[in-house]
Amino acid sequence: MTVFLASLFLPKTIYFSLPEAPPRISRKSVRPSNPGASKRPSLNLRPSLFTPHPQNTPPLTPTDDETAIDDDLFLNEDGLPVHDAEYRAPADKESPSWGGRIFQPTSRANSPPPASILEHDKTFEKAKELGRQGIFQPRASRSDSHDKVFANANWRVVNADQGNGGLRNAAEAAARDGYDGEFTWVGTLGMPADALEGTQQKQDIHDRLVTEFNMLPVFCSDKDFDGHYLHFCKQILWPVFHYQIPDNPKSKAYEDHSWKFYVNLNRAFADKIVKNWKRGDTIWIHDYHLLLVPGMIREKLPEAKIGLFLHVAFPSSEVFRCLAVRKQLLEGMLGANLIGFQIAEYTRHFLQTCSRLLSVETTSEGIQLEDRFVNVTNTAIGIDPVSLNTHRQDPEVMKWVEIMRDRYKDKKIIVARDKLDLVRGVRQKLLAFELFLNKNPSWRDKIVLIQVALSTSEKSDGLDAAVGDIVARINSAWANLAYQPVVYLKQDIPYSQYLALLTIADALMITSQREGMNLTSHEFIVCQDGAYCDRKHGSLILSEFTGTSSLFGGKELSVNPWSYRQCSDAIKQAIEMSDEERSSRWSSLREVVSRQTGSRWFTSFLSQLDQSYDVQHSHDQISIPRLNLNRLAKQYRQCERRLFLLDYEGTLISYEAMRDSVPSNPHRTLAVLNDLVYDSRNTVFIMSARRTDELDRLFRLVPNLGLIAENGCFIKYPSKSSWNEFADRRKVAAWKESVRNTLQYYLERTPGSEIEDRNCSLIFHYKNAEDFTMAERQASDWTAHINESCEEQHVHATQLEDCVVVESHDWTKDTAATHIYEQLKENSDGQPDFLMVVGDGREDEKVFRWANKLQEDGEVKEAVTVTLSGRNTEAKTTLTQAISGVLVTLQKLASLS
């Protein structure tokens, strides 16, 4: 049995070795050429996906650009333009030494977006900007010879440097730590593949990855890939998930345009998995690139075990609902059996979003759909300290630790490495640092901020220039010949230098405005153990808006990146705190990091997936047996005190009959009930949402019947003439008062609707609304609203087919059932030994659960729970012939007496 790990990028990709340089593809390099670049032989000139090949251009005349001052210390040996290094993974060790220059084909996607959407200036600007960065390549720049070159080139499989490094490390660590499942990776090669279309090479690459590496490559057209990744994921989804609402309506065009590519790529993944799936396999989908895949697989494989983990944040429902395709995305996700999030906050946002946008019932454990339950969980990913420690022993790292320790021996060092986009808060960080220097003259000269900034393809609205200006301003104010307060590197540094930086730092500063789970801080904590450097136990300054901060329990220096003063104070605190405090904070953090490792995350998610799947399937209608009449008769005969709890609507009377304003009870139902209560060993209660007076009227011909009205607010014992009221009238009056005002407001705005005032609930009927569709849509919005605002009063609102019911959940069918059961126990006749519950609605599930529990606990001898509905349920048996089936069954029991 296999675990399919589906993630946008496979851990491997292909390098081609070309006999000669391929046709020149781009006009300029992504980042300014480095003045020092030619000092070192440049090896791995590995072009990244959709960014131009860095050409080996002659060094430019060095400029006096202040950002370049210290560049050569952190020279990028690999020449890697980093575009999507969401997680810093060690580069492929072997690749640079491989002979020749290495290439991948360029994209044939026909970007930029079609002219029709360019009518919006902003979008056009965006497209032009991307064009300038070399991301969109005009068709003319490619030639057939380019493709032929690849068809004949030598190639080989190497480690990919893009993609989800955290996931890869976790999977490897889990395998090492003894997880015994077999993994099959599913993903794209992260390189344009149109050029290989129809070649033998493509087939060979596919076969080799499958047989040798157990990886299923997903091929899709360059156009789909571009549209999916660069447009939909990077321009729409990622920003929204990080609280950057696309500036409507301009980016609306963008969203519409790129959505189909997102669907196509997701479809390609789903098809690939469906084709290779075998019974018993597990499917685990990763991250926001593939949100539709669970739903697409579920359609084809209703039985599949599917998990989904979202590595990024999940935003508040207010932000998520700005997406035009919000429903499709949610429904795609809900194809899974278990959906995992990094922290509880994201899980909560997701549940709230589902309940608001899809009007589904949610619990803290998941979402109840019509026919399935979907579990949710929060389990934070972590790092693999074992392999990190191996990398730390690399002589290269040691060398850099030496160099930097020497260079900064009498300075405090704050380090940071960020993508240069609006979300990471680089600007705020620099301003805070400036404020710190202004406020603390004694530290000038003694503290250095080393900021590594990675280029990004997202539009940055002049952020780049703004950051450059701030750096210049700080440096010109406080630098001298021997001192430069900010070392600003606009490029990535090799992994060894990165580890060295984390080792010698006195503090790491992360001021992201939003971030799912940041593992950089985990790595920093491990690197600060003092094993290779006498600087140790440094402080972590961490934005409270990161997922990580909720794990560390306040042992980090938590900051609000919007408050410069607070950030500046945190810097001061970080470098001035006593050694004892620093050590004790560090130890607590180290403890968290060692506990929450990637390996543990990996195995724990998979075992939760197994568990959820099993529980869900044990409630599956298909796996629940039909009610066995013979067996039931036997149980019935053996018992002396029998209690029946029978739902009314949908169980004893059809919903159609109920639609009439005065439902008439068919004689048959009354006759059967009469027969049943004729036996004095039987106590029968009808459970209903109706009012007391309605039930009185409906069942006046069966005086020995017990009645439960308004879903549990009122109980009438058999042969009694008065009702017991359970709800506290004062409390009810109080919440009704506030809810009624709200409902009144909607009533006035929904012509044709009406409010029904029951003793324990308020019902807003919009069945006859003039504009039903409109009323229905608005109702789902404000239902959630009432629901949330009344939570404290234990009141909840539920939207049904054509009405909204607002009622207290202090009094429900199961509280009524409990009450009745306790009463009977105290009666001289003794406690019931036979319990039968029949129902078909969600409300009845709680009664099933209650009854099953009584039997499990040995309180009653026989508990028979029967559902008529086709969805998944807590009931132990089903009855498929609906109402007539119930009547036949009860009739048969009555005849046994």
Q: How far is CA 102 from CA 43, 92, 160, 193, 800, in A?
A: 9, 13, 13, 16, 61
What angle is formed at CA 258 by the lines to CA 322 and CA 781, rounded to 5 degrees? Answer: 20
CB 632 within 8 A of CB 820: no
The minimum distance between CB 780 and ligand NAG, in angstroms, equals 8
* Closer residue to ligand NAG, CB minimum distance, 714 or 834: 714
The minimum distance between CB 518 and ligand NAG, in angstroms, equals 4
* Closer residue to ligand NAG, CB minimum distance, 87 or 834: 87
Looking at residue 385, its amino acid is P
* Closer residue to ligand NAG, CB minimum distance, 375 or 682: 375
The minimum distance between CB 790 and ligand NAG, in angstroms, equals 9
* Closer residue to ligand NAG, CB minimum distance, 17 or 759: 759
What angle is formed at CA 249 by the lines to CA 244 and CA 254, rounded to 5 degrees? Answer: 75
* Closer residue to ligand NAG, CB minimum distance, 356 or 412: 356
The minimum distance between CB 510 and ligand NAG, in angstroms, equals 5
Spatial separation of the C-alpha atoms in residues 659 and 742, rounded to whole Å: 27
CB 114 within 8 A of CB 256: no
Indicate the helix (H) or strand (E) that contains 286.
strand 282-286
Spatial separation of the C-alpha atoms in residues 432 and 757, rounded to whole Å: 58
Q: How far is CA 726 from CA 391, 648, 716, in A?
A: 67, 20, 11
- Residues belonging to the chain: 897
Spatial separation of the C-alpha atoms in residues 462 and 485, rounded to whole Å: 23
The minimum distance between CB 810 and ligand NAG, in angstroms, equals 13
The minimum distance between CB 253 and ligand NAG, in angstroms, equals 29
Spatial separation of the C-alpha atoms in residues 338 and 484, rounded to whole Å: 51
| DSSP state string for 677-703 | HHSTTEEEEEE-SS-HHHHHHHTTT-T
The minimum distance between CB 809 and ligand NAG, in angstroms, equals 8
Spatial separation of the C-alpha atoms in residues 505 and 411, rounded to whole Å: 10
The minimum distance between CB 286 and ligand NAG, in angstroms, equals 13
* Closer residue to ligand NAG, CB minimum distance, 288 or 714: 714
* Closer residue to ligand NAG, CB minimum distance, 184 or 808: 808
The minimum distance between CB 454 and ligand NAG, in angstroms, equals 7
Q: Which residues contact 772 (CB under 8 A, 6 or more apart)?
A: 766, 802
Judging by DSSP bridges, how do beta strands 215-217 and 862-867 pair with one another?
Answer: unpaired
The token pair that represents 803 in the structure block: 């009405």
* Closer residue to ligand NAG, CB minimum distance, 312 or 533: 312
* Closer residue to ligand NAG, CB minimum distance, 179 or 213: 179
First-residue to last-residue Cα distance in the chain: 54
Spatial separation of the C-alpha atoms in residues 6 and 262, rounded to whole Å: 15
* Closer residue to ligand NAG, CB minimum distance, 221 or 496: 496
Q: Tell me which residue of 533, 538, 544, 516 sits closest to 590, measured CA to CA.
A: 538
Q: Tell me which residue of 6, 180, 160 sits closest to 90, measured CA to CA.
A: 160
Strand ranges, E, within 610-728: 642-647, 682-687, 706-709, 714-716, 724-725
| CA-based radius of gyration for the chain | 33
Q: Kindly state the DSSP code that residue 36 receives in the 8-state scheme.
A: T
The minimum distance between CB 527 and ligand NAG, in angstroms, equals 14
The minimum distance between CB 787 and ligand NAG, in angstroms, equals 4
The minimum distance between CB 682 and ligand NAG, in angstroms, equals 26
| DSSP state string for 132-177 | HTT-S--GGG--HHHHHHHHHSEEEEEE-SSS-HHHHHHHHHHHHT
* Closer residue to ligand NAG, CB minimum distance, 137 or 783: 783
Q: How far is CA 53 from CA 717, 802, 832, in A?
A: 83, 60, 80
The minimum distance between CB 692 and ligand NAG, in angstroms, equals 4
* Closer residue to ligand NAG, CB minimum distance, 365 or 859: 365
Spatial separation of the C-alpha atoms in residues 196 and 178, rounded to whole Å: 38
The minimum distance between CB 799 and ligand NAG, in angstroms, equals 6
Residues that bind ligand NAG (CB under 6 A): 86-87, 355, 359, 361-363, 365-366, 373, 375, 377, 417-419, 424, 510, 512, 515, 518-520, 608, 611-612, 615, 692, 714, 723, 725, 759, 783-784, 787, 791, 796
* Closer residue to ligand NAG, CB minimum distance, 30 or 367: 367
* Closer residue to ligand NAG, CB minimum distance, 156 or 740: 740
The minimum distance between CB 365 and ligand NAG, in angstroms, equals 4
Spatial separation of the C-alpha atoms in residues 261 and 136, rounded to whole Å: 16
Spatial separation of the C-alpha atoms in residues 318 and 520, rounded to whole Å: 29
Looking at residue 837, its amino acid is V
The minimum distance between CB 355 and ligand NAG, in angstroms, equals 4
* Closer residue to ligand NAG, CB minimum distance, 28 or 819: 819
* Closer residue to ligand NAG, CB minimum distance, 774 or 800: 800
Omega prior to 112 cis, within 30 of 0:
yes
* Closer residue to ligand NAG, CB minimum distance, 87 or 644: 87
SS (H, E, C) 765-795: ECCCCCCHHHHHHHHHHHHHHHHHHCHHHCE
The minimum distance between CB 366 and ligand NAG, in angstroms, equals 5
